[in-house]
Homo-oligomer: A and B are copies of this chain.
């Protein structure tokens, strides 16, 4: 393309998180970067949008990079919407979300604010990628992620993505030498077995904290969980047509109109 690509960057851990700082640094090597990201952590927000509250989106300057940045009071999906409709002068060539502090592999994609931002961009026809590192810590080491983030973003800028598909990229928490490469995978079947931590308020009223244990129910060697456990970066092409097309005829055979 004649001009530099326009890249929209967002996340769900908030605009000050180390993960998005790394992502901005890499994207500055590939194009003109505009950041519109939540002003506070939004993990576990799924595809929430703000219907009953006002939204703020304020210009901010956080580091010395060449990017333009806005801090937004909304969810990750809100950030993408407001960026496209109010902040950017043209449709971006790429939207990247992350780098998330923690896994968005397997069933985690459903709960992920990071991926909801990528999906929101995908709904708008923008090639989009969510990146996650399998380390929940604030002091996670994002260095080994950089070459993978750059390579995958370059390929998406070059090839584009078909309508209706975004990429879910998860990176194992390993040093550079230990990562074996990239595997294109499918979403593993897994769930969380919640363990609610039941407590009492000082006034004697029951309340709960949601905690849980991740359980991989899927032994397939073509899954994202397998790739990550075997030291590969996983890419799952992810769609937002949720129709279970293969089951349509089965329901028709229920003869619901009889």
List residues of A whose CB falls within 8 A of some B CB: 41, 43-52, 54-57, 74, 77-78, 81-82, 84-86, 107, 109-111, 116, 119, 123-124, 151-152, 155, 159, 162, 164-165, 167-168, 181-182, 184-187, 189, 191, 194-196, 198-199, 205-210, 235-245, 247-248, 250-252, 254, 256-257
Q: Is B251 touching A186 in the complex (CB atoms < 8 A)?
A: no
Q: Is B248 touching A184 in the complex (CB atoms < 8 A)?
A: yes
Interface centre among A43, A74, A184, A241 (most CB of B within 10 A): A241
Q: Is A207 touching B247 in the complex (CB atoms < 8 A)?
A: no
Q: A162-B247, A241-B187 are in contact. Are A107 and B123 (CB under 8 A)?
A: yes
> Could you jot down 28 A-B contacts, CB within 8 Å?
A43-B52, A44-B48, A44-B51, A45-B48, A46-B46, A46-B49, A54-B199, A56-B206, A56-B208, A74-B210, A81-B210, A82-B196, A84-B194, A85-B194, A85-B195, A86-B196, A110-B242, A151-B256, A164-B189, A181-B256, A186-B243, A187-B242, A237-B244, A237-B251, A238-B243, A238-B244, A239-B244, A242-B242
Q: Is B49 touching A47 in the complex (CB atoms < 8 A)?
A: no
Chain B nearest Cβ from A238, distance in angstroms: 5
Question: Binding site of A, secondary structure by majority: helix, strand, loop or mixed?
Answer: mixed
**Whole-angstrom CA separation of A186 from B241 in the bound complex:** 9
Which residues of B are found within 8 Å of A196, using beta-carbon distances? Answer: 55, 81-82, 85-86
Which residues of B are found within 8 Å of A57, using beta-carbon distances? Answer: 206, 208
Known: A54-B208, A162-B247, A181-B256. 13 other contacts (CB 8 A): A43-B52, A46-B49, A46-B77, A47-B110, A55-B209, A82-B196, A82-B210, A155-B254, A162-B250, A184-B252, A187-B242, A237-B244, A237-B248
